[in-house]
Amino acid sequence: MNPEPAPSRKFSLRRLSAMMVKEFAQILRDPSTFLIALAMPLLLLFLFGYAVSLDTSGTKVALVLEDSSAPALGLAETYRASPYFAVETMRSIPEARRQMIASEIRGVIVIPQDFGRMVQAGRMPVIQLITDGSQPNAASFIAAHGQGVFQNWLATEGLPGATAHAPVIDVSPRFWYNPGLKSRYFLVPGSIAIVMTMIGTLLTALVVAREWERGTMEALMATPVSMVEFIVSKIVPYYLLALASMTLCTVIAVWAFGVPFRGSLIALYLIASAFLMPALGLGLFISSATRNQFVASQIALLASFLPTFLLSGFVYEISSMPVWIQAITYAVPARYLIPSLQTLFLTGDIWSHFLPNIAAMLGFGFLFFFLSFRVTRRSLG
């Protein structure tokens, strides 16, 4: 055991380029690289473009009609015509309950026996909405839109309940930057962050862990290659690969999914580069600390992919999380990337928004590189 560091080796551009050529050759030779750099981004964009949609419509509900009067039938028709619901008529509430347990329907609209009589008597008719609480999001949706349809029906029929509810204040909402309220517009830019995490952290962690596992790392360390050269030679190829993949995603997002791109390319590459620093640094750190491909892959999944997916504000609002989880999100580099990407695509270049985020990402980048430097060096002692 020699506590002194290895005799200082001068930085050599020739050695570095030789190392990078080797690294590139390794990337190009392995078919899984194409899988991750080309197929993965396409798959992710495809899934987030088509499969993940928070724009609810056509929710399956049952309609239980206990009354056959004209007003009851009219209201039933209004529900059938609503684009929010796909209505199926059922004979009784127990039947609807069975269907709901089987997850065939998400809610029940009950028009009770005395509905027509109430309307004729000029009194406020009452209906019942039953929702499937096991799907809370769909449940609140059904409650909100079910009431909306009913209020509209009351208004068009000129019934008393409606007039009493005429609002004193009329709120007219305007949704900036995404007036069509397409969830795809924010999910697709967000999925670019996931692609970059995949390449930056997961792939890098696996590659370097493999070198440790196979013992080629020791072989490398015995050569005159210095730490800086080693790290740079590992980083640059994956940095370029990630940028290439990000470019591909951006092109597809704009041309295939019609997501507007209102910012500048310079800002896009600057933000992406800033994010790749912590992503690559974390990948290096995980691989040097674990030196086992299976463990590295699991840790990388837990420390980078899942937080990018769940703790970055990508789909789930950070402000709604408990305070201790909100604190954790500050340590997730993607938290700074995703709002920047969404702003870049939908709003434009808002530098006062980008710069603090870029600074935070670079800060994490330095931290992770420092840590992986320490871990790699100590292990050679």
Partner 1 sequence: MQRLRAMIVKEIWSLLRDPKARIVLVLPPLIQLFIFTFATTLDVRNVDIAVLDRSGGVHSAELVQRIAGSPNFRKVVYLASSDDLERAIDNQQVIAALVIDAGFDRALTRNPPARVGLVLDGRRSNAAQIVAGYVSQIAAGMDTEAVPAMQGGVQVTNWFNPSLDFIWFTLPALIVIIVSIAGLAITSQTVSREREMGTFDQLLVSPLRLHEILIGKIVPPFLVGTFNGTLYLVVAQLFFGIPYTGSLLLFFPALFIYLLALIGLGLFVSSLSMTQQQSFLGSFVVTVPLMILSGYASPIENMPDWLQVVTHIDPARYFLIIVQGLFLKDMPAVDVFHQLWPLVLIALVTLSASAWLFRSRME
Sites for partner 1 among residues 75-134 (CB under 8 A): 86, 97, 100-103, 124-134
Neighbouring-strand partners of residue 59: 85
Of 181, 215, 266, 378, the one binding partner 1 (CB under 8 A) is 181
Residue 334 engages partner 1 in binding (rule: CB under 8 A) = no
Show the tokens assigned to 79: 């529900």
Q: At what angle do helices 265-290 and 204-214 cross, to 10 degrees?
A: 30
Complex with partner 1: residue 47 or 81, whichever CB lies closer: 47
Q: Tell which residue, 208, 198, 210, has the closest CA to residue 231.
A: 208
Residue 35 engages partner 1 in binding (rule: CB under 8 A) = yes
For the bound state, the minimum distance from the C-beta of residue 296 to partner 1, rounded and expressed in Å, comes to: 9
For the bound state, the minimum distance from the C-beta of residue 269 to partner 1, rounded and expressed in Å, comes to: 20
Would residue 287 be called left, alpha or beta, if left means φ above 0 and alpha means ψ between -120 and 50 degrees? alpha
Q: Which stretch binds partner 1 (CB under 8 A): 73-81, 223-231, 240-248, 336-344?
A: 336-344
Q: At what angle do helices 265-290 and 334-346 cross, to 10 degrees?
A: 160
Of 1, 158, 170, 222, the one binding partner 1 (CB under 8 A) is 170
Residue 10 CB neighbour total at 10 angstroms: 8
Q: What are the φ/ψ torsions at residue 365 (nearest 5 degrees)?
A: -60, -50
Of 2, 14, 83, 166, the one binding partner 1 (CB under 8 A) is 166
Q: What are the φ/ψ torsions at residue 59 (nearest 5 degrees)?
A: -70, 135
For the bound state, the minimum distance from the C-beta of residue 250 to partner 1, rounded and expressed in Å, comes to: 17
Q: Tell which residue, 15, 380, 374, has the closest CA to residue 230.
A: 15
For the bound state, the minimum distance from the C-beta of residue 210 to partner 1, rounded and expressed in Å, comes to: 6
For the bound state, the minimum distance from the C-beta of residue 274 to partner 1, rounded and expressed in Å, comes to: 18
Residue 281 engages partner 1 in binding (rule: CB under 8 A) = no
Of 227, 244, 321, 371, the one binding partner 1 (CB under 8 A) is 321
Q: Tell which residue, 127, 110, 119, 114, has the closest CA to residue 157.
A: 119
Complex with partner 1: residue 76 or 202, whichever CB lies closer: 202
Instruction: Round to whole Å and give the CA distance between 334 and 313.
Output: 9
Residue 146 engages partner 1 in binding (rule: CB under 8 A) = yes
Segment 235-274, which members bind partner 1 (CB under 8 A)? none
Residue 49 CB neighbour total at 10 angstroms: 19
For the bound state, the minimum distance from the C-beta of residue 371 to partner 1, rounded and expressed in Å, comes to: 18
Q: Which stretch binds partner 1 (CB under 8 A): 1-9, 72-80, 234-242, 310-318?
A: 310-318
Segment 213-232, which members bind partner 1 (CB under 8 A)? none
Q: Tell me, residue by residue from 40 to 79, as one string, x for binding to partner 1 by CB under 8 A and - for no binding.
A: x--xx--xx-xxxxxxxxxxx-------------------
Counting Cβ atoms within 10 Å, is residue 225 exposed (0-12), middle (13-18) or buried (19+)? middle
Residue 39 engages partner 1 in binding (rule: CB under 8 A) = yes
The residues, any chain, with a CB within 8 Å of residue 199's CB and separated by 6 or more, are 36, 37, 238, 241, 242, 245, 279
Of 23, 73, 114, 178, the one binding partner 1 (CB under 8 A) is 178
Of 89, 140, 152, 264, the one binding partner 1 (CB under 8 A) is 140
Q: Starting from the edge strand earliest in sequence, which strands make up the sheet with 85-90, in order? A: 85-90, 59-65, 107-111
Of 29, 83, 158, 171, the one binding partner 1 (CB under 8 A) is 171
